[in-house]
Amino acid sequence: MDPALPIWRPDARRIADAHITRLMARAGAVVDPQDGAAVAAAARDFVARSQRDIEWFWELALEDMDMFWQRPYERLLDVSKGHAWAQWFIGGQTNIAAACVDRHTGGPRRHKTALIAETEDGRVRRFNYAELAAEVGALAAALRERGVGVGDRVACYMPMVAEVVFAMLATQKLGAIFIPIFSGYAAPAVRERLEEAGVKLLFTADASSRRGAPVALKEQADRALDGLSCVQHVLVVERGAFADCGPTPPTCPMRAGRDTFYRAAVEAAGPAPETVVMDALAPALMLFTSGTTGKPKGTVHTHAGCLAQMGKEILYNFDLHDDDVFWWFSDIGWMMGPWEIIGCFMHGGSIVIFEGAPDFPEPDRVFDSVERHGVTTLGISPTAVRMLMRAGDRWAEAHPMASLRTLGSTGEPWDPESYHWYFEQVGKGRCPIINISGGTDIVGCFLAPLPIMALKPASLQSAGLGMAVDVFDDSGRSVVDEVGYLVCKKPAPSMTRSLWNNDAKYLETYWSKFPEVWNHGDWARIDADGDWYLYGRADDTMKIAGRRVGPGEIEAALIEHEAVSEAAAVGVPDELKGTEVVCFVVLHPGHEESDDLRAALKSAVVEALGKVDRPREVLFVDDLPKTRSAKILRRLIQRRYLGAEELGDLSSVQNPEALEAIAHAR
């Protein structure tokens, strides 16, 4: 696989049918679907214009994708107070629940499937848009009776089941702010988020299921709530009523006056309230950063900002059509959960949500679910793909997955071997990988491929539409074919509206390095053809003998070796070079640890990157510590290797035993 050559090219039919082709034509571009090279050139010109003139682009796109307004805006953008405090959609009013639910219940989509929810034990519930509206309306009535109103904060600490969708939309229907919290967090991490946001009502469940084992989720919630006065009400989903998660707790602890079972609350509620009309920039969603780099920060996102950004990406980058079934393998606690729900429902799409692991009870769980639900778009992280790879090719080969049209990925840089496996084994060589990158702080993408352009392996291909991104060196100079800082030179409607109760931290985090420029904190590169690549977090980058190298580059060189399944590279202090590299690798089954293999892996890095980057050590481990969103925790690996006694809050670590094993790696 030559990384400089495309691995996939769109055919004429895909180009002709794509929503982005229609949008370009609306802007005056002449697109001949039979001429792929001309299409790519026109698309690059269109993206570049959308970056130069963001107001032109957003006016065009909002009209084309039929953005829902309860009151149209009078002025698109005001930056008179600076880019950090940009005001969008001035005078406009809308509501996510109105755009994603209400508008679909009176027309032809009323009986269309909106939501397919599958639990770990394989049970499936389906809801059409009329049923979705009924569930959301009834729950909103129950929330209103508990005093939830405009600006109140409502948190959700539940597994990825249908009720999380109802909870989010019902909260937003009332003008309150929805805060999803990952169900795998321990009580201290949950409490920190509840307290920071001043949450008024919490959704949780009596239990959840993790790889077949029951987890008493309500007991964790109670520990988080102990002595916390801000939370006045708790609604508890009786998960055992719709899924078997093993022996559920014999009694679910309930506190009188505070706790109510979800279904009882809904059944006792009055009629559904009207959806509240909200100002365009009224907060709708608060997402906390993971906390793996320090205290978690509350990013704040608005009704119009979410709809505009998420709707744009689902429609033009993932090319959602009316008969598509969209599934991003994510928890509600991570950005991609709300992103999938809001972006697809805005366009009347059908989505799948799933509780469980991608390889449980068998390594083909995802592939089987794709076929059963007729999934056309599947999104999953590179780490999850590497986990599926370790089981061997036969599980994917047994499933044709004929419905798949598009693959997606995000969360981390790809290594070439895993990317190729995803493309060939899952996508069968026919599906483009729409490899996107953005973050919690913009609830969307700075980088996102278009499905009418060829794709190079492991690339992100293109800047996001309307996103004025660039690559800067340390001096703030734009560079090409050099690794530098990923920045955005103009505001975007989905950028966080400061940080919750912390304007100073917001300015320091995003706007302090380069004047009037958002610094995203990632290393990126634009090649000579204009294609984009990511190299991980800038604060993960190592400086070896005066030269910067991203851990992703070293890890990719290691994973290219047939024996290596996963790898993590960290920097450690060195008197001569300043920093040296220590690598931790997980081997594929059937490969044995040995000094010869260790030497071969060091040589593989030298061959790929040069002698300066030769690892000081290559150590073998059975697993790498990851967050529950499957991100490798390099900083914790580094600190554990260096013998740090205090590692901080580890509740976001999915497999803490792997972190402990770092200290004993050979």
Each residue's pLDDT tens digit, 318-327: 999 999 999 9
Q: Are 448 and 460 in contact (CB under 8 A)?
A: yes
Q: Are 579 and 595 in contact (CB under 8 A)?
A: no
Using the structure block, give the residue that is written with the tokens 């009596």.
Answer: 206
Average pLDDT of the segment spanning 128-156: 98
Lowest mean pLDDT among 108-122, 427-441, 550-564: 550-564
Burial of residue 466, with CB atoms counted within 10 A of its CB: 0-12 exposed, 13-18 middle, 19 or more buried: buried
Please give the angle made by the CA atoms of 447, 460 and 425, to the nearest 5 degrees: 135
Burial of residue 391, with CB atoms counted within 10 A of its CB: 0-12 exposed, 13-18 middle, 19 or more buried: middle
371 DSSP 8-state letter: H
User: Please, where are the H alpha helices in 325-414?
Assistant: 336-346, 365-373, 382-389, 394-397
Four-point Cα dihedral 553, 554, 559, 565, nearest 10: -110
CA atoms of 189 and 181, how far apart (whole Å): 9
> pLDDT digits over 239-278, tens only?
864 444 444 444 688 999 999 999 999 999 999 999 999 9
Q: Are 285 and 177 in contact (CB under 8 A)?
A: yes
Residue 294 clears pLDDT 90, i.e. is over it: no
CA atoms of 237 and 158, how far apart (whole Å): 8
CA atoms of 156 and 154, how far apart (whole Å): 7
Residue type, position 54, single letter: I
Instruction: Identify the pLDDT of residue 137.
Output: 98
Q: Are 109 and 129 in contact (CB under 8 A)?
A: yes
Q: How many CA atoms within 13 Å lie on the side-chain side of 380? A: 25
CA atoms of 231 and 344, how far apart (whole Å): 31
Instruction: Identify the pLDDT of residue 246.
Output: 46
Structure tokens at 363: 């390594």
For the whole model, what pTM was predicted?
A: 0.87
How many Å is the Cα radius of gyration of the chain?
Answer: 24
Q: In the β-sheet with 259-261, what is the strand arrangement from edge to edge? A: 259-261, 233-237, 201-205, 153-157, 177-180, 283-288, 298-302
Average pLDDT of the segment spanning 14-37: 96
State whether residue 436 is helix, strand or coil: coil
Instruction: Identify the pLDDT of residue 293.
Output: 47
CA atoms of 12 and 114, how far apart (whole Å): 30
Average pLDDT of the segment spanning 645-655: 70
Structure tokens at 384: 């999850």
CA atoms of 617 and 537, how far apart (whole Å): 22
Lowest mean pLDDT among 94-103, 270-279, 369-378, 573-582: 573-582
CA atoms of 184 and 217, how far apart (whole Å): 9
Residues 6+ apart with CB under 8 A from 496: 299, 300, 301, 441, 442, 506
Residue 557 clears pLDDT 90, i.e. is over it: no
Average pLDDT of the segment spanning 170-188: 92
Q: Cα 577 from chain centroid?
A: 36
CA atoms of 410 and 656, how far apart (whole Å): 23
Of 155-164, 236-245, 544-553, highest mean pLDDT: 155-164
Q: Which of 307, 182, 306 is nearest to 653 (CA)?
A: 182
Residues 6+ apart with CB under 8 A from 310: 338, 339, 342, 343, 346, 443, 444, 494
Q: Are 473 and 483 in contact (CB under 8 A)?
A: no
Instruction: Identify the pLDDT of residue 624.
Output: 92
Pairing label, strands 213-215, 208-210:
antiparallel
Q: Are 179 and 623 in contact (CB under 8 A)?
A: no
Average pLDDT of the segment spanning 174-178: 98
> pLDDT digits over 203-221, tens only?
999 988 888 888 889 999 9
Structure tokens at 533: 């690549």
Q: Cα 422 from chain centroid?
A: 18
Q: What is the band of 115 on the pLDDT scale with cuts at 50, 70, 90? A: very high
627 DSSP 8-state letter: B
Instruction: Identify the pLDDT of residue 2.
Output: 75
Q: In the β-sheet with 325-328, what is the strand arrangement from edge to edge? A: 124-128, 113-118, 350-354, 325-328, 377-379, 406-409, 433-435
Structure tokens at 257: 């006056």
Residue 292 clears pLDDT 50, i.e. is over it: no
CA atoms of 463 and 449, how far apart (whole Å): 7
Q: Residue 542's beta-bridge partner residues?
A: 549
Q: Which domains does the chain have, with CATH numbers?
A: 1-66+438-540 (2.30.38.10), 137-283 (3.40.50.980), 542-662 (3.30.300.30)
> pLDDT digits over 128-139, tens only?
999 999 999 999
Please give the angle made by the CA atoms of 533, 524 and 384, to the nearest 5 degrees: 55
Residue 283 clears pLDDT 90, i.e. is over it: yes
Residue 139's H or E segment, with its range, is helix 129-145
CA atoms of 40 and 482, how far apart (whole Å): 23
Pairing label, strands 113-118, 124-128:
antiparallel
User: Please, where are the H alpha helices in 409-457?
Assistant: 416-421
Q: Are 277 and 69 in contact (CB under 8 A)?
A: no
Q: What is the band of 652 on the pLDDT scale with cuts at 50, 70, 90? A: low
CA atoms of 366 and 353, how far apart (whole Å): 12
Residue type, position 429, single letter: G
N- to C-terminal Cα distance for the chain? 32
Q: What is the band of 635 on the pLDDT scale with cuts at 50, 70, 90? A: confident
Instruction: Identify the pLDDT of residue 247.
Output: 44
Structure tokens at 18: 């794509």
For a pLDDT cut of 90, what percent of the chain falls above it? 75
Average pLDDT of the segment spanning 135-156: 98
